[in-house]
């Protein structure tokens, strides 16, 4: 474990906005919240650096960063920023065609946020444990304690009203939502263009290009999963399987 202080935080934050040469390709991910003068972790970050090597793009470096605030004896405040960083050097070779497909998908509307595409990219399994866990968070466990509740569990597990849910959350372009106290986004920088996925919306859609245009394309999510480590935080965000958790939340919220 290597510790860096505030200067490293500034350097790593700058990566999100920099322009990367075509022989390098950087994906950055950040999830966090404002600390409101409290100590403790306020952000997790990941940086993935790909470098062109003959016919492949190679994942040369994978950084996992935890940023936290600690007490500062000089200012008498909780404003000392500390970063704990883990470096990994996977040297994973990625076919150039995989990157080319990602860039292609990032620059076109997929028109694929629909029941057919989503059904073909998720498992049709939802456990009772998963439903109860979400119901508990919503303080709606009482909805599942009688025979009617057992039927509700079966309805969720059979994806009742799933198509209605998909239609209800279908992302709209040019309707970018800004969150001030929390953030959860990935930034993809390649050849002078910046693409941002905001995971405070379902599956990071729509995708914002150069802070102006927006597209909806779930093929981007699939392409990213071919490139990044399966155990990364970003991989857990982009997987289409995540939509099942949001569907369960939606279903429970709409129980009378």
User: How far is CA 77 from each of CA 34, 73, 80, 99, rounded to the nearest angstrom?
Assistant: 15, 7, 8, 45
What's the number of domains the chain is made of? 2
pLDDT at position 216 over 60: yes
Same domain, 59 and 31: yes
Same domain, 139 and 209: yes
Same domain, 139 and 212: yes
User: Which of 50, 65, 95 delimits the end of a domain?
Assistant: 95
In the prediction, which pLDDT does 87 show? 92
pLDDT at position 9 over 60: no
Average pLDDT over residues 209-220: 94
Range of the domain at 90: 2-95
Give the residue, 145 or 225, on which the prediction is more confident.
225
Same domain, 72 and 171: no
Same domain, 147 and 80: no
Same domain, 129 and 232: yes
pLDDT at position 247 over 80: yes
| pLDDT tens-digit map of 32-61 | 988 888 888 889 999 999 998 878 889 999
In the prediction, which pLDDT does 36 show? 84
- Integer Cα distance of 228 and 78 in angstroms: 34
Mean pLDDT lowest for which of 3-12, 16-25, 176-185? 3-12
Same domain, 62 and 130: no
Query: Is 85 a member of any domain?
Result: yes
pTM for this structure? 0.83
pLDDT at position 126 over 90: yes
Same domain, 6 and 87: yes
């Amino acid at each position: 474990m290597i510790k860096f202080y505030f200067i490293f935080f500034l350097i790593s934050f700058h990566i999100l906005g920099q322009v990367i040469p075509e022989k390098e390709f950087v994906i950055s991910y950040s999830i966090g919240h404002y600390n409101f003068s409290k100590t403790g972790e306020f952000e997790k970050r990941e940086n993935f650096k790909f470098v062109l090597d003959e016919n492949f793009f190679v994942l040369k470096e994978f950084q996992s960063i935890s940023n936290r605030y600690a007490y500062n004896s000089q200012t008498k405040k909780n404003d000392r920023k500390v970063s704990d960083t883990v470096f990994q050097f996977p040297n994973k070779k990625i076919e150039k065609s995989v990157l080319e497909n990602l860039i292609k998908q990032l620059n076109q509307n997929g028109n694929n946020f629909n029941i057919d595409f989503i059904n073909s990219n998720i498992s049709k399994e939802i456990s009772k444990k998963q439903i109860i866990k979400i119901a508990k968070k919503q303080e709606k466990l009482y909805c599942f304690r009688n025979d009617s509740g057992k039927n509700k569990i079966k309805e969720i597990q059979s994806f009742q009203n799933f198509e209605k849910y998909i239609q209800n959350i279908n992302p709209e372009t040019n309707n970018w939502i800004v969150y001030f106290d929390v953030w959860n986004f990935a930034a993809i920088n390649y050849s002078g263009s910046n693409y941002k996925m905001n995971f405070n919306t379902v599956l990071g859609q729509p995708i914002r290009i150069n802070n102006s245009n927006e597209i909806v394309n779930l093929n981007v999510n699939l392409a990213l999963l071919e490139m990044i480590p399966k155990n990364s935080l970003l991989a857990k965000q982009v997987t289409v399987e995540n939509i099942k958790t949001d569907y369960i939340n939606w279903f429970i919220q709409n129980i009378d």
